[in-house]
Amino acid sequence: MNSTEIPNWLKQRAFLTPNRIALKTENEEISFLTLHQNVVKKANQLTFAGIQEDDVVSVLMKNRIEMVELIHALNYIGAVTVLLNIKLSSSELEFQLKDSGSKIVLTEDDLLEKVIHFNNEIIRLKELQELPEKDCAIQGYFSLDQADTIMYTSGTTGNPKGVIHTYGNHWWSAIGSSLNLGLYQDDCWLLSVPMFHISGLSILYKSIIYGIPAVIHESFDPKRANDAIMNQGVTIMSLVSVMLKRMVDELGDQSYPNSFRGMLLGGGPAPKPLLEDCLARHIPVFQTYGMTETASQVVTLAPEYSISKLGSAGKPLFPVEIKIEKDGMLANPNDVGEIVVKGPNVTKGYLNRMDDTKTSIVDGWLYTGDMGYLDEEGFLFVMDRRSDLIISGGENIYPAELEAVLLAHPGILEAGVTGVDDEQWGQVPAAFVRKEEGSIVTDDEIIAFCYKKLAHYKVPKSIHFVDFLPRNASNKLMRRKLIGLLKDENND
Amino acid sequence: MNSTEIPNWLKQRAFLTPNRIALKTENEEISFLTLHQNVVKKANQLTFAGIQEDDVVSVLMKNRIEMVELIHALNYIGAVTVLLNIKLSSSELEFQLKDSGSKIVLTEDDLLEKVIHFNNEIIRLKELQELPEKDCAIQGYFSLDQADTIMYTSGTTGNPKGVIHTYGNHWWSAIGSSLNLGLYQDDCWLLSVPMFHISGLSILYKSIIYGIPAVIHESFDPKRANDAIMNQGVTIMSLVSVMLKRMVDELGDQSYPNSFRGMLLGGGPAPKPLLEDCLARHIPVFQTYGMTETASQVVTLAPEYSISKLGSAGKPLFPVEIKIEKDGMLANPNDVGEIVVKGPNVTKGYLNRMDDTKTSIVDGWLYTGDMGYLDEEGFLFVMDRRSDLIISGGENIYPAELEAVLLAHPGILEAGVTGVDDEQWGQVPAAFVRKEEGSIVTDDEIIAFCYKKLAHYKVPKSIHFVDFLPRNASNKLMRRKLIGLLKDENND
């Protein structure tokens, strides 16, 4: 039995509804037909540049129409696209390029500096636009089992892992979401989260599959986002708590129009006061739960429960199941345990990491590492992302990665990182450091050292020197106890 | 690679949105949770009666809530359901029961007589309701490749063939339709076509997958159908032309509420005057094209083209492709040929008929036997079912085209056209006409009217006035039976 094939999505969409608007920016609107034509041109230029079916190609770019076009063009060719986070440091990018076996990096002038010194072939957008075309054999069908994109995400230990998304993962994500949220003729989705994250990329695919416009913002700005809802027909938006709070503040005493259907709120448990504030102001919020490995949201709170189950992430999308496991057993209702997810939008695995894949995905069930419980009616309440995950302004920060950098400093013997609450970003990383004997390294020096090695959002906002780190019997760092050290420090 | 599995649809729906209404009749409303509970009981009773996974079980029943429950109960058990047309004669039913290898027939008292003298075990609804329960191992997942239902359909020659529908065929039909029509929170579908036809059965599955109510009518009545739209919140309805015409007539000078989203019009080419009438009266009509083998509609006219492409069946659903073949070659735009369809809602084949399957489905493309053309923009215009094609002196004549002209005459209420043998031309068209009440139109006047509208070779050579036209259970004109009226007339 072959995997289900669906006609090339954008090509089919451009055939079915050529004149509908596909993308909007502040300056232009592009129909599906024009987008398709632009994509064919780009696919031909990439073909001229030597990119072929099954090649792995990295894209390092800000949200912009050309980024959308390149992602689709790589689909047309049948290449596999690695989406690179533009905030990463050079050494972080180098790891992902090597690990994914990227043949070529597509980037733009502003970001060139980050990758210029690597061995990979680089094509800048401006160069690409000048290239001649060579006829590309456009993929007529996408097989749902076929690898489409790769995004890196860090685990509890070690290096980031490349999550493989098949066309099927993206397809089922879009379909599952539409069966939950509905699909209205005038729907229009604001895409102001990065397309190198699954939250942004999934909107791009929804736009094509649903036949609705995506309004693209290069970066998030609360005033522009509010304006898109108030004046540009945006009906749905994906965001995280810190963005929502800024939008609500900026909104003042204005209200969104009735045509606005809702805020799809992801990126970790939301503060209840914010949700209550939105409720009081009649701002519809759909709490969601999802991650890169599940190709975006897999659990969403249905409209009819937004009041009675405030604070819950809801129930699974139609094709998805969740369960809670505790000590290898199914947990009882209201008992906290690990959240385990199954469904056709769950990744088939991590690139070149058979062992990690086998550990994380058992019989189709993904062990998320996140903690939560189901109430008696089966509503999910997420307690904590992976015991140690720090979510800062919608970006995931993995303590293990920061600790590895800290330990590379010659003056540091031991290091532990945890998140501390922050009004602006939700959480920010704090580092606990035990110096090498005799070392006179200062916190400023350590922070400067981190800036060289890490994306800026990952750099610890505070360094705390300690005499010991809390470890369990097997000497494993107990990150959750780090916060206690901070309290001790304050009591001194 | 295994086929995609989705959690048991009704069970999942009852878990996700237990309190939403699943089914409405004139007397009752049933929530998804109650429906699930009723279905579990029926599955247990059927298990007690000896029905097991993979058994083939026939259902001979009128539209009613118990029929819905039995179809789901057979899904829960993992049996394969044969849907029998209640208008069939005993000998036609006998053939289908034998051919499908049905173990048991589930029926109701009113229909018992039709099957009582066969060897099959029969369970009447009333008997079933009295049976004890035996715990059934409820199917937790439906594999999209798994056979679910069988419906018989006649080809151009020979015995009816059992079309196998997998769960995937029904799933993709529902999904493809939602991506085209959208899916609104208040959607509600009127089910007044028989559930033993794909048009009715597909609504039952849409209700579960979308989480919306289906309003069930035992049979079609224009007044009750209008009332369901005007007063019971029906937003979408599936029907054929003759039903639509009767509803429009019955509606008088009233209008449907704005919440009404549209008439899904199938069952063959629609008369243009009717479509124009609906347009003038702001009744949204979605022309569609589909058949049992495609698990209902596969081509639908999108809202934005309802005026500019009036009379077209539209473009394919998102996962579907169509092409036109003529003499084994791809036809040019506007050239009539055979309509060929591909997509995940196309049946995998006919039960126990490998040869027919191989002839009809080649590389996933279904050769429909229907004639039509694609215009330059790819819109499908269905000319006619190939079996109905009249070939006269080497010229092709499509009955639907003549019927549309006849229906445009103010004195004509219904019309059907078929070919009769002719020494000179091979075949010539004969028209069967039901007059408007009180009309005194003559055959000469009608023929003169046709001469004004049609190429001369297409004008009917005879007009036969009748009191009714032969229609099947879904009210579709059965042109092949027209010739029988002629014989009756000669015998008078």
Tell me whether residues B4 and A209 touch, CB distance under 8 A.
no
Under DSSP, is residue B298 helix (H, G, I), strand (E, B) or coil?
strand
Give the integer Cα–Cα distance in Å for A237 and A256.
Answer: 12
Q: Are both A163 and A227 inside the same structural domain?
A: yes
For residue B308, the chain A residues in CB contact (below 8 A) are: none
Last residue of a domain, one of A382, A410, A429: A382
Q: Contact, A203 vs A297, CB < 8 A? A: no
Give the integer Cα–Cα distance in Å for B285 and B77.
Answer: 38
For residue B318, the chain A residues in CB contact (below 8 A) are: 6-7, 12-13, 16, 209
Domain count across chain A: 2
Q: What is the DSSP string of A252-316?
A: TT----TT--EEEEESSPPPHHHHHHHHHTT--EEEEEEEGGGTEEEEE--GGGTTTTTT--BEE
For residue B3, the chain A residues in CB contact (below 8 A) are: 1
Tell me whether residues A185 and B185 touch, CB distance under 8 A.
no
For residue B206, the chain A residues in CB contact (below 8 A) are: none
pTM: 0.87
Q: Are both A142 and A172 inside the same structural domain?
A: yes
Provide the β-strand partners of residue B81: B57, B149
Between the alpha carbon of residue B13 and those of residues A379, B10, B165, B199, the distances in Å are: 14, 5, 21, 22
pLDDT at residue number A1? 44
Nearest by CB to A12, from B12, B145, B318: name it.
Answer: B318
Tell me whether residues A184 and B182 touch, CB distance under 8 A.
yes
Determine the residue of chain B that is closest to A299 in CA distance: B16
Q: Are both A145 and A200 inside the same structural domain?
A: yes
Tell me if B153 is assigned to some domain.
no
Place of tokens 């959002």: A457
Determine the residue of chain A that is closest to B11 in CA distance: A318
Tell me if B373 is assigned to some domain.
yes
Q: Are both A324 and A411 inside the same structural domain?
A: no
Q: What is the DSSP string of B306-318?
A: TTTTTT--BEE-T
Per-residue model confidence as pLDDT tens for chain A (492 residues) = 468 999 999 999 999 999 999 999 988 999 999 999 999 999 999 999 999 999 999 999 999 999 999 999 999 999 999 999 998 989 889 999 999 999 999 999 999 999 998 888 999 999 999 999 999 999 999 999 999 999 998 755 567 899 999 999 999 999 999 999 999 999 999 999 999 999 999 999 999 999 999 999 999 999 999 999 999 999 999 998 888 989 999 999 999 999 999 999 987 667 778 888 898 899 999 999 999 999 999 999 976 687 788 889 999 999 999 999 998 899 999 998 999 999 999 999 999 999 889 989 999 999 998 889 999 999 999 876 665 778 888 888 888 788 878 988 989 988 899 999 888 888 899 999 999 889 999 999 999 999 988 889 999 999 999 998 887 665 667 787 888 887 766 655
Give the model confidence (pLDDT) of B258-287 as tens digits.
999 999 998 766 778 888 899 889 999 999
Q: Are both B306 and B187 inside the same structural domain?
A: yes
* Interface probe, candidates A2, A3, A4, chain B, greatest B C-beta count within 10 A: A4
Q: Are both B378 and B238 inside the same structural domain?
A: yes
pLDDT at residue number B326? 92
Range of the domain at B221: 168-386
Nearest by CB to B6, from A7, A178, A319: name it.
Answer: A319
Under DSSP, is residue A212 helix (H, G, I), strand (E, B) or coil?
coil
Nearest by CB to A182, from B6, B19, B185: name it.
Answer: B185
Tell me whether residues B16 and A315 touch, CB distance under 8 A.
yes
Last residue of a domain, one of A382, A411, A429: A382
Sheet with strand A426-435: strands edge to edge: A412-422, A426-435, A462-465
The domain that contains A105 carries what CATH number?
3.40.50.12780
Determine the residue of chain A that is closest to B9 in CA distance: A318
Could you tell me which residue, A159 or B313, shows the higher pLDDT?
A: B313
Give the model confidence (pLDDT) of B424-474 as tens digits.
777 899 999 999 999 999 999 999 999 887 778 789 999 999 999 998 877
pLDDT at residue number A226? 98
Determine the residue of chain A that is closest to B343 in CA distance: A6
Q: Are both A408 and A342 inside the same structural domain?
A: no
Q: Are both B328 and B395 inside the same structural domain?
A: no
The domain that contains B85 carries what CATH number?
3.40.50.980
Question: Considering only CB atoms, which residues of chain B are within 8 Å of chain A?
Answer: 1, 3-4, 6-7, 12-13, 15-17, 19-20, 144-145, 168, 175, 178-179, 182-185, 209-211, 302-304, 315-316, 318-319, 321, 344, 378
Last residue of a domain, one of B386, B416, B431: B386
Where on the phi/psi map is residue A54: left (φ > 0), alpha (ψ -120 to 50), or beta? left
The domain that contains B487 carries what CATH number?
3.30.300.30
Tell me if B148 is assigned to some domain.
no
- Tell which residue, B125, B128, B39, B34, has the closest CA to residue B77: B39
Give the integer Cα–Cα distance in Å for A158 and A152.
Answer: 12
Nearest CA distance, B50 vs chain A (angstrom)? 31
Give the integer Cα–Cα distance in Å for A396 and A385.
Answer: 10
Give the integer Cα–Cα distance in Å for A470 and A480.
Answer: 9
Nearest by CB to A7, from B6, B321, B378: name it.
Answer: B321
Tell me whether residues A17 and B303 touch, CB distance under 8 A.
no
Tell me whether residues A315 and B15 touch, CB distance under 8 A.
yes
The per-residue b/e assignment along B214-228, b for 16 or more CB within 10 angstroms, e otherwise, is bbbbeebbbebbbeb
Could you tell me which residue, B456 or B206, shows the higher pLDDT?
A: B206
For residue B12, the chain A residues in CB contact (below 8 A) are: 318
Tell me if B157 is assigned to some domain.
no
Give the integer Cα–Cα distance in Å for B220 and B239.
Answer: 9
Q: Are both B328 and B194 inside the same structural domain?
A: yes
Give the integer Cα–Cα distance in Å for A255 and B394.
Answer: 69
Give the integer Cα–Cα distance in Å for B191 and B62.
Answer: 12
Q: Are both B119 and B218 inside the same structural domain?
A: no
Nearest by CB to B183, from A182, A304, A321: name it.
Answer: A182
pLDDT at residue number B1? 43
pLDDT band at B480, cuts 50/70/90?
Answer: confident
Tell me if B130 is assigned to some domain.
yes
Tell me if B54 is assigned to some domain.
yes
Q: Is the pLDDT of residue B388 over 80?
A: no
Q: Are both B257 and B350 inside the same structural domain?
A: yes
Nearest CA distance, A3 vs chain B (angstrom)? 7
Give the model confidence (pLDDT) of B396-407 as tens digits.
677 877 888 899
Q: Are both B357 and B234 inside the same structural domain?
A: yes
Tell me whether residues A4 and B168 touch, CB distance under 8 A.
yes
Determine the residue of chain B that is closest to A184 in CA distance: B182
